[in-house]
Amino acid sequence: MSTLLIIFYFLSAITLATAFLTIISKNPIHSAIYLVICFFTIAGHYLLFNSQFLAIVHIIVYSGAIMVLFLFTIMLMNLNEEGEPHKKMATKLAAAVSFGLVCFVMLAVFIKTMPIIDDYKSSGQDYQSIKVLGKVLLNEYMVPFEFASVLLLVAMIGTVLLSKKEKTIQ
């Protein structure tokens, strides 16, 4: 076994473990810390692919800016268990069905997607170049970039609305 393969397996194990711990952790701060560790190991995967620029940008953007945004959002929400109303069984069932449908759609998309590796070999372009990477991201993938920004904006608005105190009528 080569050294790169051992490093890949090690990073993969840590990535999967911290992603799983992010989901099952009861404390939201611990979940955020596990997510930061997961982001760093994903940056390690970028380094294994010899993509230093993406690794650094991933650390700066995700582990820095996005996680600070998540932590502020978690702190903004008052997560006291005593004051939290219990969710109805229908709500839990609807969430589980929605999750299953999203997983099914994502799996179908991944199965139908053709690999891009053949295009990379035939085109001969160096995707490590920041100039080429910028052109690809801002031309071909402009819609997903905008979608991600709108998604983050909606998540922040939703958090603010959830954290607002309801007025009690007396």
Q: What band does 17 get if pLDDT is binned at 50, 70 and 90?
A: very high
CA–CA separation, 1 vs 144, rounded Å?
38
Classify residue 2 by burial, with Cβ atoms within 10 Å: 0-12, 13-18, 19+: exposed
Q: Which amino acid is at 33?
A: I
Give the per-residue pLDDT at 164.
67
Q: Cα angle vertex 110, ends 150, 63, to 5°?
A: 45
Range 108-124 burial, b when 16+ CB lie within 10 A, else e: eeeeeeeeeeeeeeeee
Inter-residue contact 37 to 16 (CB < 8 Å):
no
Contacts of 25 (CB under 8 A, 6+ apart): 31, 34
CA–CA separation, 45 vs 56, rounded Å?
12
- Mean pLDDT, residues 146-151: 80
The 10s digit of each residue's pLDDT in 84-143 is 566 678 877 887 888 888 878 877 777 776 555 555 455 555 656 677 777 777 788 777
Instruction: Calculate the CA dihedral of residues 139, 140, 141, 147 and round it to 10 degrees.
Output: 80
Chain centroid to Cα 135, Å, comes to: 23
Q: What band does 50 get if pLDDT is binned at 50, 70 and 90?
A: confident
Q: Is the whole-model pTM more than 0.85?
A: no
Give the per-residue pLDDT at 45.
92
